[in-house]
């Protein structure tokens, strides 16, 4: 059974965030992600028994261990962080992860496509330059990225 797109996206996110932050430990990598532009999932307490969850993008720099972040999130609708999602998987971060995981890569640009391949024997992975994040790319591109990052399709 092949992996679902959601499973592939989760794998790609873990591998890219770890590679960009120079660690194999995902939790440590996520802590390094905290800063301007980082997405976190927060729990908003409406009453003692009621709450909802939403995605919050940090709009000012706060160190993970700095209480300023927790006060800022806490004062935002009486909330708490329940999950760090991380920074967007933009093309620059994807390319950095590929170079750290695969070493040298071959890149070509044709119109609005940036094509990458690991070596002369592998197929190209095409990234549409008009789409800002990996999750916005085609499913084929996301699956090819998954394989290049070390994922295995059954």
Q: Is residue 154 part of a domain?
A: no
Average per-residue pLDDT in the chain?
Answer: 85
- Residue-wise pLDDT tens digits, 7-57: 999 999 999 999 999 999 999 999 899 878 888 888 877 767 787 888 888
Whether the per-residue pLDDT at 67 is higher than 60: the answer is no
Query: How many CA atoms, within 13 angstroms, populate the side-chain half-sphere of residue 149?
Result: 26
> Which pLDDT score is estimated for 80?
74
Q: Is residue 30 part of a domain?
A: no
Does one domain contain both 51 and 93?
no
Does one domain contain both 74 and 98?
no
The neighbouring-strand residues paired with 127 are 114
Q: Is residue 153 part of a domain?
A: no
pTM (whole model) above 0.95: no
The neighbouring-strand residues paired with 81 are 42
């Amino acid at each position: 059974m092949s992996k679902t797109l959601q499973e592939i996206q989760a794998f790609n996110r873990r591998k890219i965030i770890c590679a960009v932050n120079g660690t194999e430990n995902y939790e440590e990598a996520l802590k390094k992600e905290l800063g301007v532009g980082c997405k976190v999932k927060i729990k908003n307490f409406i009453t003692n028994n009621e709450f909802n969850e939403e995605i919050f993008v940090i709009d000012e720099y706060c160190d993970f261990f700095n209480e300023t972040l927790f006060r800022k999130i806490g004062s935002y609708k009486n909330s708490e962080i329940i999950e760090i999602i991380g920074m967007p998987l933009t093309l620059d971060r994807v390319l950095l992860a590929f170079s750290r995981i695969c070493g040298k890569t071959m890149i070509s640009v044709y119109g609005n496509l940036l094509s990458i391949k690991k070596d002369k024997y592998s197929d190209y992975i095409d990234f549409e330059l008009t789409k800002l994040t990996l999750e916005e790319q085609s499913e084929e591109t996301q699956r090819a990225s998954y394989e290049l990052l070390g994922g295995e399709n059954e």
